[in-house]
Structure formats: C-alpha cells, structure tokens
Amino acid sequence: MSAPLRIAVAGLGTVGGGVLALLAANGDAIAARCGRRISVVAVSARARGKDRGVDLSGVAWHDDPVAMAEQADCDVVVELVGGAEGVARRMVEAAIARGRAVVTANKALLAHSGAALARAAEARGVVLAYEASVAGGIPVIKTLREGLAGNQVRRVYGILNGTCNYILTQMRRTGRPFADVLADAQRLGYAEADPGFDIDGVDAAHKLAVLSAVAFGTETDIAGVHVEGIRHVGALDIGFAGELGYRIKLLGIARMTEHGLEQRVHPCMVPLETPIAHVEDVFNAVVVEGDFVGRVVSEGRGAGAGPTASAVVADLMDIARGRSPMTFGVPASRLVRAQAAPMDRHRGAYYIRLMVRDRPGVIADVTAALRDQSVSLESMLQRGRSPDEGVPVVLTTHETEEASMRRALARIQALDTVLEPPRLIRIEAP
C-alpha cells in the first residue's frame, strides 16, 4: 500500500467533525478503495479543548489556519472555515502557493474568487476540489464535469437551499404563515438565528454561480445572478399554486441565451407532474439538461455533517488515487467571462396575485394594463365578494418578456382599487 495521503483540516464544526468521524469509521474501506490511507496530521479550530468524538492526541494543532496551510507537513489542506474573504481565502491561497492540494466546501469563496483560485491552482499543478460546496452529498460537480462532459448543457437548475425548501414545504402542509414556519425551522436547527443568508437567496446564488461555471465553462460571476428570496411568498400563494396545478419552490436556474448567461434565483411555480415539485423538506435536487443525455435529475440531502462530509471525503479519495480533474472542467486559462443576460430580457410565464377592492371595472382596468404591454392572460381566479375589503385576484400569463410584465405591474399597482403591491412568481416550464 502506498504512503498515506496526509491532510490538514481547518474548521472542526459540523462539517469538519463529520469528516473526522467518517475517516475514523470507514478508514479501512477508504484505504482499500484508494490503495492508501487518508491520515489527518494537523487541524485548526477555535476551541482546542472541545470533545469532538475523535482522538486527536497525535495530531498537530494550529491556532492559525493560514500558518497551518503554510507549515503543516501535509499533502492536502481541507478548508471548512467558510466566508468569501478573510482567513478562508488567505489559507487557500497559502496552500496553493506551497504546492498543496485544496479541498473546500466554501461556495461563497468559489462564487467570488473561483476563476482566480483555479488559475493559481493550475499554475502550481495542484488540485482545487469542491464537491461539497454545492448540494451537500449530491455528486453534482462530478456529474457535470465528468459524467456529462460530452454534452452541451442547455440548462441547469435546482433546489439548492434546504432551509427554504423546508419552509415552503411546511407552509403548504400546514397552511401556517411564513414567520411561524421560519421560527420552527430555527428551533429545529434548519435555519440560523439570522436566516437572511438562506431565505433571501444568497446561499443558493453562491451555489448557482459555481454550477454555472462548471456547466458552461465560464468564470464564476456572482454579480450576474438575479436574486430574490422567499419572504414575500404567502400561504395564500401556496394555496392558489395547488389549485392551478403547481408547487412553489425556490430555484436556482442557469442557461445560455441570445442575451448572455442567464443566472437567476427566485421562487418558481413548478408543475406538479415534474419530479422537482415533489422534492420536500430539507432535501435538494439538481436537474441538468444536456443535448445528448436529455434530462438528469439528482436528489439528496444538501447539508448536514454526514452528506457534506461524504462529499469532502470523495474529493480526498480522488486526490489519493492521483486524479486531478480541471477545476471547472476546462483549463482555467480558457474560462470565458460571459456576458450577464439582463433580467428584463427573460421570457417566461407569470403568476400574479392582486388584492383589490371589489368594484365594477377593476378587472377591466387590470386587463387593459396587461393588454397595453402585450401580456396575454392564460387564466384568472377570483375568490369572495367584499365591496369594503380586499379580495384576491389571481392571474396567470402566457410567455412574455419580463420588462413588459414589470411595466404592466407598475401601472396596475397605481390603480386606486389595488390595495397592496402585486405578488409576482415566475412559472418555470419543465
């Protein structure tokens, strides 16, 4: 058996602890599959004395993870600290500069600096691996970069944030409002005390930027991602979605268009007959559409100690076997800086919910605003009669351009019979 692969791990939280536990539990099987052991020789974390359930007595401890990346007697640095800048970036840059391979779960770092880090790693001849950065235990990076490498990817999309999927699932099942379900998610540990990173779509946007780079051979461009979260999705919308044959999911979607690379994260109405409509709770799913393979759907747990550790160790095993795939599937020097497609040029169908005063002529005014922007209605639902209070009116449209839809909504919102800003949710075709 070959000499062990020596690794230094920075960050011993949920994921780091999971990596140590997995290597301890399955070390013999991993060694048999790789032809060599994976040996933890150094670690760095905030609390030195904390019991992590794994014997670290023979492992070198470093208070400074950047110093560990520079000085540890190791082959690979595993970065599980997190963050787009600061310590995480410095330690990854330091490891690459010293000729050490890097394994990371840090989607924010890759979304902001992926191309630069890929170029640095390629120049030093080392691997930069990041399977754990997107969709936890689902091997979507390997699928895109290797299994589907012979295809031209037409579109990649998916449920990339388990917290949002849990909240939307529970709202549909229970009929409870967003705030109540969010509080439950925080109590159960699915959402942070400050949940904005998840529910405002930022986490999903980072993951989408990484997926886009692999799918289309482009530099990561987080600034080019259109981002909306789920705060505005109400139980009323979820109920209407069911009546219309849809479920609401927060999706990240990327595709090449005539206007450039379209990257968007926002709530979507997805038809009930599609597999992704039935991905529930904290599960993630990624769909890849290739010109020869057709549609490939992958589903699994997108976060947590076990699934994420599984992805980290899979990268370590590739390195132990001597595999060195290109970071984003093409040489870093050939990554394209794609033009970002303006969201105004997006074409699709829309769900619109209005709260209006129930007076004669209201619907005529609304449809006139849509007509004047060449927006064609597909269906309309109206519930209740209440001349003194607001009643919901739901409209769905045929495919139209986003700019036209926005102009029509601005005119509709200005009507004195419309009591609150219209709620818009895009309908995503399968």
Those residues whose C-beta lies under 8 Å from the C-beta of residue 413, and which sit 6 or more positions away, are 421, 422
DSSP letters, 146-174, are IITTTSPEEEEEEE--HHHHHHHHHHHHH
Structure-token pair, residue 416: 């004195």
Q: Name which of 384, 327, 71 is nearest 213 in CA terms.
A: 327
Burial of 63 (0-12, 13-18, 19+ CB in 10 A): exposed
Structure-token pair, residue 258: 């005539």
Q: Cβ distance 338 to 220 under 8 Å?
A: no
| Cα Rg, the chain, nearest whole Å | 24
Where do we find the tokens 């109405």? 269
Where do we find the tokens 């970002």? 340
**Catalytic residue among 50, 107, 142, 207, which?**
207
Catalytic: 50? no
Query: How many CB atoms are located within 10 Å of the residue 177 CB?
Result: 12
Where do we find the tokens 């020596």? 6
For residue 92, what are the CA distances in angstroms to 15, 27, 223, 393, 408? 17, 26, 22, 53, 48
Give catalytic residue positions.
207
